[in-house]
Amino acid sequence: MSKIEKRFGLLGKDISYSFSKKYFTEKFAALGLKHYEYVNYDLRKIEDFKSKVMKDLDILGGLNVTIPYKESIIPFLDEIDEEARSIAAVNTIKILDDKRLKGFNTDAYGFETSLKSCWRGNEKGALILGTGGASKAVAHVLRKLGISFLFVSRSKRSEDMISYQDIDSMMMQEHEIIINCSPVGTFPEIDAKPDLPYEFLTSKHLLYDLIYNPEKTAFLKMGEKAGAIISNGSSMLAFQADRSWAIWNS
């Protein structure tokens, strides 16, 4: 096997399913970068970052970060981009010339670019399902676009958050964009879906699922059945991955 000149990778937990490795491996092949590779750093806990990832620092060109480490990786970084600091979540790490690590967030760019391709612009407020790192990037974009929103979690923990039990007909009527940032419905649990009153969905709704495997989750199928606009997370992933590549090579 030829000597690897540059390694990139994905930092996460239980990530064998990941889109990133296949995407970047194909990208490197298309660009003729024979000595580049992309690997999965599947960590049981974030504390393993130093022993299992930093050992490759001399060859590392950059990292992507996925659940559940988009927030817990921050203390391990030397520097953080202003937008990522505002979002309080990092999904891209650039290795600076002096080997220091700088965190960025390309999820916001990926989500905004993807949303604009299906957003009609006249939908009322949004419900963000889930409160992890990806939901923070989604909230950042909605604020930027002037769309009011509420986070939805299993239990209410702040003023801008409601529980699933709080969602009724009126709540569904007032929030026509519903974005699933939770892992509910991901392969192999493809029959699972967020606990919503789907009977109140209409053709005015837009359902967006950050999940891309399966291509059409049970959540999206319920939206489709009601005549809503639906979109999965595959285009968001491609947009954020290309932005990561640009950051690594800037």
Query: Domain check: are 130 and 50 in the same one?
Result: no
Last residue of a domain, which of 66, 83, 105?
105
Which domain, by its residues, includes 158? 108-235
Same domain (yes/no): 154, 86: no
Asked whether residue 118 falls in the same domain as residue 225, the answer is yes
Closest by alpha carbon to 244, among 27, 32, 62?
Answer: 62
Residues 20 and 116 in one domain: no
Angle in degrees, 0-180, between the axes of helices 234-248 and 107-116, rounded to the nearest 10: 140
**The pLDDT value given to residue 2:** 65
Number of domains in the chain: 2
In a domain, 248, yes or no: no
Residues tagged active-site: 70
Do 88 and 132 share a domain, yes or no? no
**Per residue in 166-202, pLDDT tens?**
999 999 999 999 999 999 999 889 999 999 999 999 9
Give how far Cα 81 sits from Cα of 36, 71, 111, 137, Å: 26, 14, 18, 14
Question: Do residue 92 and residue 115 come from a single domain?
Answer: no
Q: Judge if 141 and 230 occupy the same domain.
A: yes
Residue ranges in the chain modelled with pLDDT below 70: 1-2
Do 22 and 46 reside in the same domain of the chain? yes
State pLDDT tens for residues 103-130: 999 999 999 999 999 999 888 899 999 9
